Chain A
Amino acid sequence: MRTATLLILALAISGCGDDDIHSYNAPKTPPPTQMQTPGPSLAATLPDSPSDVVWDMPDGWTESNSDQAMRAATFDAGGIEVIVTALSGPAGGILANVNRWRGQIGLDAIDEASLAPMLTHYNGIGGDVIIADMTGDQRMVAAIVDPGDGKTWFVKATGDPDPIGALLPEFTLFARSFRTEVKPATTSSPAGTGSEQSVLDRLGSYTPPDNWTRDPNASSVVAAAYTAGTGARITATVLGGQGGGILPNINRWRGQVGLEPVPTLEDAGGQDIGGALLVNITGEQASIVAAIVTEGDHSWFFKMTGAPSEIEPELPAFQRFVQRVGLGEDTP
């Protein structure tokens, strides 16, 4: 009996809540204005601010001029026109867009249930890529890309079935290459520098640890190279601008040690060392530790490569190297 009472009590409590119509007085709200911006009133996540979107154009394609206002870019892929457009937000959603395209090639609209089987999902460099392949009066391949800049990007090619089929692998790679390019840094010197000396000046006066030997074959790009006693190789490289972007570089390094690319900088991990971003990419056979420091209109890439066992003992010395040369900190 007591058990039953307990159960009923628990159910009664769990049933309580603000599940009914209720009224209250609230401070006055300003009257609504006529301008409405569609958009949920709360930001759901912590997004980074939007950046420019870039892509890799396949060999043999040429970019053609288009005066159509909606188009972000138009390409000529061996006689087939590939159109790139971007719309803010989810742009009506996948189903609405797929049905719009189906209409363009004389196909009937489909419902949500029939949508899933006709879509192929890919991981792109910048984010999710969904490709729809439809054949009606003509064959159309269309990609919906979310490179994380708050917009939805559409890539579309229409033509006869066979040429479109032949284009599809290249088209897919193209759509998967969409990514956000980090904006050039606005600071003229790295945070915490505090000195007027440039990285190159500091590199010239830098005394490496005892077990590092300087390689003589440095160039204008590789400003300094060392080999540590453990076998790890340390380089300081300078490149114009962002050196191709932070994320593409991290993904390139990940590829070098046999790891899959990551979609965003957040996923790359990383550690803040006095204002510079230090990433530690550990593969099975080889590892890369790198720090990126922006100085004026160019970027310094401090990099240590080698087997994990060669790298591990040199980590503290490498970090001091970055702090001293890259950031101009007075480390012991």
Chain B
Amino acid sequence: MTKWLKPIASLRFTVVLLSLSMVLVLAGTLAQVNHGVWTVVDDYFRSPLVYIKFQLFFPSTIQKIPGGILFPGGLTLGLLLMINLLAAHLVRFRFTWKRAGSLITHFGVIVLIIGEFVTGVAAKEGKMAIFEGGSSNFTEDNRSVELAIIDPSPTDHDRVTVIPGSKLAGARGALTDPRLPFGIRVEQWMPNSQILGPMQATPDQLARATDGLGTQMAATPAPQATGVDNKNDLPAAYVTLLDDSGPVGTYLATVWFTQPQTVTVGGKQYYLQLRFTRSYKPYTIHLIDFKHDKFVGTEMARNYSSLVRLEDPSRNVDRQVLIYMNHPLRYAGETFYQASFMEGDTGTVLQVVRNPGWMLPYVSCTLVTVGMLMHFGLRLTTFVRRQNR
């Protein structure tokens, strides 16, 4: 067993893994010139493998370089580092007080790696936008989109079927699914788009949609937002709806449109909307008042605050809460931060974060600090004792 573990536990392996991690961090940082920060986090640091293009390391304006290399992603490296660390302790484990500090420090590092893994897998983030006097029971994640097909025929609720944006992006041919009321063919997918008004779009661009708002406005592809410009992608898609007899019509669906479009397939009415990915909550937040205080004589923000009513029949909760900068509401495992507001101060935007692993980095830092203090403290006492002899 030990013989088998030894190579995995070797310090040489640690050094190799740390070196690879450095290369990955460099590549991931450079990749943000062309890609959004969350795309990079997912592609480089939370994936098992990543294809790193050589071009990343040279400006394309100077020299075009083809090719790339398949590289272990953050998930693989993190996992291997953890295995390496655990194996090292298994092979060389001898508990002495002298080694206690080092053991605690290493345990802290393991907690940190686990913390990032839990965050990567389980953390959920979204925004809740509410107008003054209005209420909301869902969050939207503006890093991803979904095509929602809403059947409003039930009297007391809507039946919603959603197709994730990632599925639309990679769709080849018609998308059919027993849960979908009709087939959908993606004619064009735009990860980020510009909208052209009736006066800006050419007749050809307007002719791409046969029905709906796309006959008055057109969408054209835009470069995706990168890690350096702090903007969101606003995707768009031209989709053809298909019933049993064939195409019904081609529509432009885009997050630029703030309301769903009405479509009729097989004599039945549905609403169609490309929107930021929603998650519905068991509670409702009502916005009573939003305040935006400014420095006197300027337009510079001094404070934002939202007075809300939190209503959760499932937990018998109905109370008022004031959410303001640095004073979030923590409820049902989620944290509500004051994040933004609607134009003209007419409403608020709350950032809703659920991260079961949020405590782990703190635990890890505490362990590492305690471990290092113990380790160096013991070294210091030994040194002082020797000097005194």
A contact residues vs B (CB 8 Å cutoff): 3, 6-7, 10-11, 13-14, 16, 18-29, 31-33, 36-46, 48-49, 51, 90-93, 95-96, 112, 117, 182-183, 185, 187, 190-191, 242, 246, 265-266, 270, 272, 275-277, 292-294, 299
Within 8 Å by CB of B142, from A21, A22, A44, A275, lies: A44
Segment at the A interface, from B15-23, B258-266, B311-319, B361-369: B258-266
Chain A residues with CB under 8 Å of B339's CB are 46
Nearest residue (CB) in A for B300 is A265
CB distance A43 to B343 under 8 Å?
A: yes
Chain A interface helix/strand/loop/mixed: loop
- Contacts A21-B177, A25-B154, A38-B197 aside, 19 further interface pairs with beta carbons under 8 A come to A10-B48, A19-B166, A20-B167, A21-B161, A21-B180, A24-B280, A28-B157, A29-B158, A32-B259, A43-B340, A43-B349, A48-B299, A49-B344, A185-B298, A190-B297, A265-B298, A265-B300, A270-B300, A277-B300
A246 CA / B277 CA spacing, docked (Å): 40
Chain B residues with CB under 8 Å of A265's CB are 298-300
Q: How far is the CB of B129 from chain A (nearest CB, A)?
A: 6
Q: Say if the beta carbon of B353 comes within 8 Å of chain A.
A: no
23 contacts between A and B (CB under 8 A): A14-B48, A18-B277, A21-B162, A21-B175, A22-B162, A24-B160, A25-B154, A29-B271, A32-B271, A36-B213, A36-B257, A38-B195, A41-B129, A43-B349, A46-B304, A48-B300, A49-B299, A51-B299, A92-B200, A93-B222, A187-B297, A265-B299, A294-B297
Chain A residues with CB under 8 Å of B230's CB are 45
Q: How far is the CB of A148 from chain B (nearest CB, A)?
A: 10
A244 CA / B83 CA spacing, docked (Å): 64
Q: Say if the beta carbon of B95 comes within 8 Å of chain A.
A: no
Nearest residue (CB) in B for A150 is B343
Nearest residue (CB) in B for A326 is B296
Chain A residues with CB under 8 Å of B343's CB are 43, 49
A276 CA / B298 CA spacing, docked (Å): 9
Q: Say if the beta carbon of B27 comes within 8 Å of chain A.
A: no
CB distance A246 to B200 under 8 Å?
A: no
Chain B residues with CB under 8 Å of A29's CB are 150, 152, 158, 260, 271
CB distance A11 to B296 under 8 Å?
A: no
A221 CA / B134 CA spacing, docked (Å): 49
A295 CA / B359 CA spacing, docked (Å): 48
Q: Which of B46, B277, B339 has the largest number of chain A CB atoms within 10 A?
A: B339
Instruction: Please tell me the number of chain B residues within 8 Å of chain A, measured between CB atoms.
Output: 80
Within 8 Å by CB of A27, from B157, B162, B195, B345, lies: B157
Q: How far is the CB of A38 from chain B (nearest CB, A)?
A: 5
Chain A residues with CB under 8 Å of B127's CB are 42
Chain B residues with CB under 8 Å of A292's CB are 297-298
CB distance A276 to B121 under 8 Å?
A: no
CB distance A44 to B231 under 8 Å?
A: yes
Chain B residues with CB under 8 Å of A13's CB are 121
Chain A residues with CB under 8 Å of B189's CB are none
Q: With A41-B140, A44-B340 as known contacts, state yes or no: A246 contacts B47, CB within 8 Å.
A: no
